[in-house]
Amino acid sequence: MPEEFFDIYDEELNPIGTASRRETHAKGYWHRTFHCWLARRSDGRELVLFQRRQLGKDTNPGCYDITAAGHLLAGEGLSDAVRELKEELGVSVSLQELIYLDQVREEADGLVGGKPFIDREVSDVYGLITSIPLESLALQQEEVAGVYEAEISDMLALFRGERDSLTVTGIEHANAGKNNEYKLISRMITAGQFVPRPFSYYIDVLEKLQNCIKE
């Protein structure tokens, strides 16, 4: 598979060129990503959907994460980045259908394949209020191990430290992901099982989704 290339930026987000994914993470260049959280109402419940990353991912394998997210490739704008929803979940929408929530900067470092990496991302965060049930999603086998949903109020309590764990329902690949077959499952989750970010990120997004879904 050919290596991806990203547009890269300085600290003030001035464009400084392009670089491969490997070079971007080796040298810690700022680059842009897209986050989208899905939420829906069902029988009076206000639900947020989130995914679990595949165990084969090079960073944060098996962690719970944003419903759909990904890097902007070189030359792409945010209107192109909505492809992540189609690729990861089988959901086709335009950028105009999304609700802009925030822009955040994230910095992380560690080892991938025994080599150090520095990840500096500027992420535009969106929400999508949808009526799509879990069982209608089409999960990308290579990226997404499962998608789950929980009441937004319960998720807020989890990240605020008001409860230690939460039982959620979701779908995961069945039969090694062949033929888009899924199984329904319940899992007990904790806040520490999510991709490491300040809990304030999750709280802020969930509060904004909750306000949007009430409108």
Identify the helix (H) or strand (E) that includes residue 121: strand 115-129
Residue 108 maps to which CATH number? Answer: 3.90.79.10
**Model confidence, pTM:** 0.95
How many other β-carbons are positioned within 10 Å of the β-carbon of residue 189? 19
Cα dihedral: 18, 20, 25, 26 (round 10): -100
**Count of domains for the chain:** 1
Q: What is the pLDDT of residues 119-139, one digit of tens each?
A: 999 999 999 999 999 999 999
Structural domain of 200: 5-214
Residues linked to residue 60 through DSSP beta bridges, in sequence order: none
Determine the straight-line distance between the first and last CA of the chain, rounded to whole angstroms.
44
Please, are residues 95 and 82 in contact by the beta-carbon 8 Å criterion?
Answer: yes
Q: What is the pLDDT of residues 138-165, one digit of tens each?
A: 999 999 999 999 999 999 999 999 999 9
